[in-house]
Amino acid sequence: HYLLFIRLQFTWLRKTPLSYHDYLVFRGAGEDGQLGIGENEEKEWVCSIKALQSEKVSSVVGGSRNSLAICEDGKLFTWGWNQRGTLGHPPETKTENTPTQVKALANVKIVQAAIGGWHCLAVDDQGRAYAWGGNEYGQCGEEPEKKDDSGRALRRDIVIPQRCAPKLKVRQVAAGGTHSVVLTQEGHVWTWGQPWPPGDIKQISTPVRVQGLEKVRLIAVGAFHNLALLEEGVLWAWGNNEYGQLGTGDTQPRSQPIPVQGLSDLTLVDIAAGGWHSTALTAEGEVYGWGRGEHGRLGFGDDKSSKMVPQRVQLLVGEHIIQVSCGGTHSVALTRDGRMFTFGRGDHGRLGYGRKVTTGHPMEVPINLSKSKDVPSGSDDDDTLGQRWYAKFVACGGRHTLAIAVLQPDEELAEEET
């Protein structure tokens, strides 16, 4: 099964100036090197990726078994599982646990990227889209060439990033389990690959425009469902719907976009899609969730049932959330004052509480890091005393979580001293 998500970051988040104090931090499963720490071990507490501390990382993406980071200067780094070419270079080993730059994209400025089931997408500052990784369903935008005796396309991996959808000027890319979706600068949505579970419908490798959508502002893609937020604020959905992830009040799949119910009176500013659940964020900083509720990934406390229409996450009311990211079975919410709340499945330490707890109650994630190596946080030699780590960006993977954090003076402590 596919564990994936696509994150949609606010423009101001992407362009926030970064200082040398910014750290890329992580927690969760690491058996494929997806934590980027130089070893294949899981971590239950927040740790830092030291290999990227010299880079100005502006955004991160977590996949089912791999990760990537985009830098302010447009450089793209990848790490984790690489058997299908998902890291953007020929696989010399099955996994790579240290971030490396994607050399094939070194001469362009990458501004946004996405990870699907076994493939990746990226877009540069000129609106050119790129794809690499698994292509057995045409999800990288190239017709699979080899066929077996029965005429079925054989697996064909694209290990070096190449242009996809070359006729389109792309603003955002999103990747599903076996399909790809892009938003053009004109506000149109195009898709290709296998948009349904394999075997349900024939795949396509040539981009096809999604009809009925105009002036789209943001897109988000889960395993086999899709979301599109229009400039006017209406949210549309299409694709698989077995857990109500389309928010239509039923579990019937939709091949064409349909409005999501229960959000018409709200001002939506962001959306996110996990494997089988969806979220929307309002201008007031409130979160609405729907779809699969198993493990508590929707954040509704002890109620872990699936929701077929959006419902407000009451346990986050008052926290003023500015970003939400959805993984395969867990979610993370970022507050305006730089705190992180995680909820959902907790094995492998993906929630970052220091214990493998599974919960539907959003809990704040402690960031106990020292800038200096081997200095315990809170000790007399701790160089963070009087300061606090503020998270600026979050991203869920299949079984791990990534975040960008900056060390700044503790505002609450400063107020107390004053």
Q: What domain range is 312 assigned to?
A: 213-371+386-410
Structure tokens, 242: 């077995």
Q: 69 and 199 share a domain?
A: yes
Q: 170 and 230 share a domain?
A: no
* Structural domain includes residue 65: yes
Q: Which of 209, 229, 259 is the last residue of a domain?
A: 209
Q: 84 and 166 share a domain?
A: yes
As for how many domains the chain has, the answer is 2
Distance, in Å, from the CA atom of 385 to the CA atom of 378, rounded to the nearest integer, reads 7
pLDDT in tens, the chain (418 residues): 222 333 332 222 222 333 334 554 444 444 555 455 455 555 556 677 888 888 999 999 999 889 999 999 999 999 999 989 999 999 888 889 899 999 999 999 999 999 999 999 999 999 999 999 999 899 999 876 656 667 666 657 999 999 999 999 999 999 999 999 999 999 999 999 998 876 655 678 899 999 999 999 999 999 999 999 999 999 999 999 999 999 999 999 999 999 999 999 999 999 999 999 999 999 999 999 999 999 999 999 999 999 999 999 999 999 999 999 999 999 999 999 999 999 999 887 788 877 778 999 999 998 877 654 433 445 454 556 678 899 999 999 988 999 998 888 887 645 554 4
Question: Across the strands, what pairs with 390?
Answer: 406
Q: 142 and 62 share a domain?
A: yes
Q: 229 and 267 share a domain?
A: yes
Instruction: Collapse the DSSP code of 258 into the 3-class scheme (helix H, G, I; strand E, B; otherwise coil) and give the result.
Output: strand
* Structural domain includes residue 309: yes
Instruction: State the pLDDT at residue 150.
Output: 72
Q: Which of 209, 233, 260 is the last residue of a domain?
A: 209
Instruction: Collapse the DSSP code of 316 into the 3-class scheme (helix H, G, I; strand E, B; otherwise coil) and give the result.
Output: helix
Q: 254 and 135 share a domain?
A: no
State the DSSP string of 136-184. TTSTTSS----B-TTSPBPP-EEEEEEEESTTS-EEEEEE-SSEEEEEE
Give the CB-side neighbour count of residue 43, counting CA atoms within 13 A. 23
The CATH number linked to 178 is: 2.130.10.30
Distance, in Å, from the CA atom of 19 to the CA atom of 405, rounded to the nearest integer, reads 10
* Structural domain includes residue 129: yes
* Structural domain includes residue 22: no
Q: What is the pTM of this model?
A: 0.87
Instruction: State the pLDDT at residue 16.
Output: 34
* Structural domain includes residue 78: yes
Over the range 277-303, which residues count as b (16 or more CB within 10 Å of their CB) and which as e? bbbbbbeebbbbbbbbbbbbbbbbeee
Q: 337 and 283 share a domain?
A: yes
Q: Which of 163, 192, 209 is the last residue of a domain?
A: 209
Q: 244 and 270 share a domain?
A: yes
Q: Which amino acid is at 310?
A: P
Instruction: State the pLDDT at residue 71.
Output: 96
Q: 143 and 179 share a domain?
A: yes
* Structural domain includes residue 41: no
Q: 224 and 191 share a domain?
A: no
Full strand arrangement of the beta sheet holding 66-71: 57-62, 66-71, 76-81, 95-101
> Phi/psi of residue 145, each to 5°?
-85, -45
Full strand arrangement of the beta sheet holding 277-282: 268-273, 277-282, 287-291, 307-312
Instruction: State the pLDDT at residue 302.
Output: 96
Q: 176 and 245 share a domain?
A: no
